[in-house]
Every structure is written in structure tokens, then in C-alpha cells.
Amino acid sequence: MKIHFYTRYLIITVFCFLIAIGIVIQLIRIQSMEDYAAILAQNKGYEGSFVTLIPDRGRIFDRKGSLLAGNETTYEVGLDLVNIDDPETIANAVSSILGLDYYETLTYANIKAGQDGRYYIVLDDFVPAEKIEQLQILKEDYQNREIPKKQKRPSLSGLMWTEHTKRSYPEGSLASNVIGFYKFLDRTGGMGYYGVEGAYNDILSGTPVEVFIPNDPQLVTELPDIQKGADLILTIDREIQTMAENVLDESLDWSGAESGTILIANPEDGSILAMATTPRLDLNQYWQYDQIFVNPTPFNNAISKSYEPGSVFKVLTMAAALDNGAVTPNTIFSDVGSILVGGAYIYNWNYGAWGDQDMTGCMQHSLNVCLAWVATELGEDAFYNYMRNFGLDRNTGVDLAGELHYPLRLPGDNQWYEVDLATNSFGQGISTTPIQMVMSVSALANDGKMMSPHVTKSMIIDDHQYEVNPVIVGSPIKPETAHTITEMLAVSLEQEASNALVDGYRVAGKTGTAEIATEFGYTSNVTNTSFVGWGPTDDPKFLVYVWLEKPTISIWGSEVAAPVFSEIVQKLVVLMGIPPDSIRMNIASN
């Protein structure tokens, strides 16, 4: 009996021992196999997966919090070839809802899983949520539909959609030249181009992080904090921008101008309130860029297109001469209709002689001869030093991608001639961009302090808001000079009964009509018309620059650009809440 039990125990023991030996041998065999590394990697795959977390691109707001650039959910629609039950129903659904080709989809849906190594096929991308909702409703309808027993149930099994975000520009083309665009169709290597999207691409995009997501819930940990894309709040005011673009479009219509630019800035801090230019692009369809910006049209004329500004430039020449002491407002110049500088005669715009004129009269009648004389009185060294101090020999550094400037020709350069001193004094033979002019003139409107133009008001990084402080880039003239030139220009507009005047508000400014250089020389038939002005003169809150290129209704800045300035200011003071001068004075005196 005992022996019987012992035999049984022995057999069980040997059996267990053999199993254990077998397991050990199998373990050793697996570890010495050639495919060991592959098996190990496969096992790693079961443990979890590495996922790249891409932070949402930072949003862009206007100064009052209106969203200018955000993100929205879109979907990638594809076929999971393993789970397809009904290729015809899938082809029908995607052709009717997504507008894809029925036969092409059917061909894809009939591919066997694993054929050519394919298990998943992308049918469409950037599909809006509404379309996905329709597919979802259809899918549920098929699942819940009562079907007779012998009939096959239609199914969308195998049709799948995956969500991801895309850049969205709710305002379409509004301020498009300032915002720039993000190439969202490129989901892995998308970048920001032009404007704010280009200039701040790095901080808007954040830092992607690769993390391991374990399948074992015991190993799950909190996802690491990923560096989100910074949000930007711009100095642009959406209402003012809309107004500026509408006024610009209307003025292009009635003046027949080829293109135009309007810049509105706060001279006290250099912030840009509006930057309207043409052409504009619907940023949600950025791929139309090539059709709209036909070479060599810059994306933003305000910062990239230089031109000879003409008589608006006289404000800088006069400011320099007053500051230097070469002239005073009461200095009398006897205009005989021409002046010889560097071997060339300079004439007035009407080729007339205006007799004795003080400096205000010279500005009021925009006398080229007088300003050429003023420049010679100032001297070439002083004149070009002032122009450099006004920042005309460099980029302004505005925080927008794509800023360009035309080099300032200086005495001693190969291309510089003595007559250039005279022509430069009234804005011919010298090229600037509108943003350069705005920065320079901001010194005249801001007690001599020239502010760095900028479009970013603040940034939100890691849930903290950082304000962008205004930067003084120079003080090219003294405060007294700024007050004097402002007064002279205000008086000259009033005496001229200019089209630029605004009822109830005292403004200072200057028109500009510039001949355009062609391969056959300068032409008077086609001009660049401009106006630069600021106000209220006692405490300037806005500076407006208007440039209309090649208007057909008139060649004169006083008839084309000045009324546009006036219209802009009339609407601007309402939007900015600036009361008429009389009311402000009354409040101040109380």
C-alpha cells in the first residue's frame, strides 16, 4: 500500500520536475534565438506606446480680446481595412457626405488587410465636425435600423475618423497682412509665414514632447507639463482695423488707385492700432497666396514696400532745420520759382514763384524750392545725420516678419550726387516704407521722442501675462521743435482750408504727391499720393499715414489722400472715444 503511494508521488514529482526543466529549456532557447531582439521589441509594444504630444499653437487676440487666430477640431477620415464589412455602403456614404469619388473609395475599401502592407488608408483630411456628425448619425442609423432577417445590414464598420486641430482665422482676411498665416495643411512641419505668425513662430508653436503611455494601469503617471504655445495680444484694435480697411477699399474705388496703405498708430508708445493694405488674403485659404500676391507684390506693403514719399517728407526736413537752428518759423524765404543745387534747377510743383514766404507758408504751399533752400542752409552733413537719427537708414524693427528698407544714399556714396540734398529734402530720390515714415513722424507728435513701432501688446507664456513695454528708439529732435513743427503744420492746414481738416478736432499734417521714377525718368501723370497727420495737436493720441498708389481721379495728395485722412480721423475719434477739443478743454479747465 505504502509502495503504491510512493510510486504515485514519485511519478507526480518527476512529472513536475520535467515540466520545470522544460520551462527552463524554453526560456534559454527563446533568449538565444536570433529573433530575440524582435520578440523583446514586440513585448515592449504590448507594454505601451510612445506618443508625441503636440501643444496647440498659441492664439492671437486683438487689444480688446477678439480672437484673430485660434484652433479648431477637424478630422482625418480613413479606412481600417481589417474591420470593413460593407465596402459599397462606405463608398456611398463618403461620396455623398464628403464628396469623394465613389469608385475610388470602393477600390480602397475592397483592398484586403495586409495587402502591400496596408492596414489603414487615409481618405480625406481636415474634414469639418459637421460632416463627421452626419457620418456618425448615418452609422448609428445603420446599427439601429430594423432589417428583415434575410437582408444584409448596411454597415460603416471600418470607416473611422480621428480628430486633430487646425489653425483657424475667424476674421478671414481682416488684418491678414499683420497676422500672416500658418501652413496648417502640413501637419508635421507646419510653420508660420509673414506677419505675427512668422515673427513669433517659435513661441507660438510651443515644444512637442514624446511620452510613453503604458498599458499597465499600475504604471500610469500624470502626463508631463508640455510647453504650450504662447498666446499673443496685439496692439491692433479690430474695430479700428475694420474701419481702416473699409475706408481704404472705398477710397481705392473712388480714386482709382492701384493699391493703398493706411497706418494708424499711437505716437505716445509706438503701438500700431491698425495696418490696412492691399491686397489681402483670406487666411483660412492661405494656399491662394500665389494667385493673390503675384510677384513681386509684397505680403505687407506697409513694412516691405519702399517708395519715394514726396512732400510728406518735408515735415522731417523742416523739423531738422528748426531743431538745428538753421531756420525759425519766421525765417523769410523769397521764392523766385527755382533754385540751382548741384548743377540742377529745382522747381515748385506748379513751376510758379511764390515770393516772400515764412516757413509755415513754405509748408502750407508745399514749396520744393523753399525746402531745397532749407536743406542747403542745414548743410548735407547735418541733414543726413538727422535722417539717420530719424531711422531712415535701417529697419524699424517692427515685430512683423518680412520688413525691408531701401538703403539711404549718403554723401560719399557712389550713387549720391549734390542735387540729391535738394530732391531728398522734398521726398524725391529717397525711398522709405510707410512704417519708417510712421516711426520718424512719431517723434514730431511725441515731444521729440521716437517710439519703436510694434504690434504685440502682451504675451501669455506659462499662464502668465507679460506686457511689452514701449521702447524709445531715439530723440532726433528737441521737444520744443516737435511742438513748433506741430503748430506750424496745424496752422498751414487751417490756412489752406485743407481737405484733411476734421470739424471739432485740431490736427497737424502734410500732404505728399510724389512723381514715380520709371525707366524713362520721372513721370508727372502717375503719382504716389500720401498724407501724414496727427492729433489732437495739444496731446496727440493718434498718428495716421495714408498712401494711395497711382490714383486716376487726381494726381494730387491734397485731393486724394487728405480727404481719406479726414474720413479716417472722423471715425477714429469716435472709436477711440476722444471728445472734441472744446469739450476736452472744458473738462480740463474744470
Cα separation, 310 vs 512, whole angstroms: 5
Give the nearer residue to another protein in terms of CB position, either 235 or 304. Answer: 235
Supply the minimum distance, in Å, between the C-beta of residue 140 and another protein: 20
Give the DSSP letter of residue 262. Answer: E
* Binds another protein (CB under 8 A): choice among 130, 225, 356, 519: 225
Please, which residue, 161 or 347, has the CB nearer to another protein? 161
Per rule CB under 8 A, count of chain residues that contact another protein:
59
Please say which residue, 271 or 428, places its beta carbon nearer to another protein: 271
Chosen residue from 75, 181, 286, 505 binding another protein by CB under 8 A: 505
**CB-based burial, 181-190: b 16+ in 10 Å, e otherwise:** bbbbeeeeeb
| Residues 171-210 as x/- pattern, contact with another protein by CB under 8 A | xx-x------------------------------------
Q: Does 219 bind another protein (CB under 8 A)?
A: yes
One DSSP character per residue, 536-570 reads: -TTS--EEEEEEEES-SS-S-HHHHHHHHHHHHHH
Q: Which among 60-68, 297-305, 433-441, 512-520 is the span making contact with another protein, rule CB under 8 A?
A: 60-68
Residue 174 Cβ, how far from another protein at the closest point, in Å? 6
Residue 564 within binding range of another protein, rule CB under 8 A: no
458, 472, 522, 553: which one binds another protein (CB under 8 A):
458
Burial class (CB in 10 A: 0-12, 13-18, 19+), 37: exposed
List binders of another protein among 96-155 (CB under 8 A): 129
Does position 280 interact with another protein (CB under 8 A)? The reply is no
**Closest CB 410 distance from another protein, rounded Å:** 41
Tell me: does residue 385 bind another protein (CB under 8 A): no
Interface region with another protein, contact rule CB under 8 A, candidates 112-120, 311-319, 554-562, 572-580: 572-580
Query: Smallest gap, in angstroms, from Cβ of residue 66 to another protein?
Result: 7
Q: Is 52 in the site for another protein (CB under 8 A)?
A: no
Q: How many angstroms separate the CA atoms of 544 and 531, rounded? A: 8
Part in contact with another protein (CB under 8 A); list of ranges 104-112, 339-347, 354-362, 567-575: 567-575
- Closer by beta carbon to another protein, 474 or else 504: 504
**Interface of this chain with another protein, residues 398 to 457, rule: CB under 8 A:** 457
Instruction: Report the b/e string of 237-264 with b at 16+ CB within 10 A.
Output: bbbbbbbbbebbeebbeebebebbbbbb
β strands within 215-353, DSSP E: 231-234, 259-266, 271-277, 333-335, 338-341, 344-347
Q: Which is nearer to another protein, 19 or 223 (CB)?
A: 223
In the bound complex, what is the minimum distance in angstroms from residue 157's beta carbon to another protein? 23
164 or 478, CB closer to another protein?
164
Cβ within 8 Å of residue 415, ≥6 positions away: 409
Question: Measured between alpha carbons, how far is 120 from 109 in angstroms, rounded to an integer?
Answer: 10
Residue 220 binds another protein (CB under 8 A): yes
Residues 6+ apart with CB under 8 A from 52: 208, 209, 210
* Radius of gyration over every alpha carbon of the chain, rounded to an integer in angstroms: 35
Q: Which of 186, 210, 222, 290 binds another protein (CB under 8 A)?
A: 222
The answer to the question of residue 64 lying near another protein (CB under 8 A) is yes
Show the 3-state SS of 21-86.
HHHHHHHHHHHCCCCHHHHHHHHHHHHEEEEEECCCCCCEECCCCCEEEEEEEEEEEEEEHHHCCC
Q: Are strands 67-80 and 120-128 parallel, antiparallel or unpaired?
A: antiparallel
Interatomic CA distance for residues 557 and 222, integer angstroms:
64
Q: Which of 121, 504, 516, 550 binds another protein (CB under 8 A)?
A: 504
Q: Which residues pair with 159 in a beta bridge?
A: 79
- Return the biggest CA–CA distance within the chain: 146
Report which residue type is found at 183: K
Residue 322 three-state SS: helix
Q: Which residue, 35 or 249, is less far from another protein as judged by CB?
A: 249
Q: Is 574 in the site for another protein (CB under 8 A)?
A: yes
CB nearer to another protein: pick between 478 and 584: 584
| Closest approach of another protein to the CB of residue 266, in Å | 12
Nearer to another protein, 153 or 228 (CB): 228
Does 217 bind another protein (CB under 8 A)? Our answer is yes
* Residue 23, beta-bridge partner list: none
Alpha-carbon dihedral sign for residues 293, 298, 301, 302: positive
What is the C-alpha to C-alpha distance for residues 405 and 388, in angstroms, rounded to an integer? 13
CB of 284 to another protein, least distance (A): 10
Q: Which is nearer to another protein, 106 or 575 (CB)?
A: 575
231 binding another protein? (CB under 8 A): yes
Q: Which is nearer to another protein, 92 or 168 (CB)?
A: 168
Beta carbons within 10 angstroms of residue 122's beta carbon? 11
Nearest of 396, 469, 423 to residue 313 by alpha carbon: 423
**Parallel, antiparallel, or unpaired for β 456-461 and 464-467?**
antiparallel
Question: Where on the chain is the footprint of another protein (CB under 8 A)?
Answer: 56, 59, 61, 63-67, 70-73, 129, 163, 165, 168, 170-172, 174, 213, 216-223, 225, 231, 233, 238-239, 241-243, 457-458, 460, 463-467, 502-505, 570-571, 573-574, 577, 579-580, 583, 587, 590
